[in-house]
Amino acid sequence: MPVPKKRHTRARQGPARRRFERLAEKGLSKCPSCGSYIRPHHACLSCGSYKGRAVIKIKPLKKKSSK
């Protein structure tokens, strides 16, 4: 069975302590077109815009019909 050669430091252990998890909480900004929170340098998932341009076509959610 594989065994790690060196021990991971405390900063690298566990999902709550990894670098991305710490940066994702602090690095949120608002989308200029719709105002929802987005990660920096990523397209907005609610309106599909990036730097003021529409780059992703977002389909509206279908409402479930009640029978």
2-59 tens-digit pLDDT: 998 998 877 677 666 655 555 555 678 888 888 888 888 899 988 999 988 889 888 8
CB atoms within 10 A of CB 27: 12
What pLDDT is recorded for position 15? 64
What pLDDT is recorded for position 39? 85
What pLDDT is recorded for position 18? 59
3-state helix, strand, coil in the chain (%, to 5): 15, 10, 70
Whole-structure pTM value: 0.50
Where do the domains of the chain lie? 28-58
- The SS3 of residue 38 is strand
User: What is the total residue count of the chain?
Assistant: 67
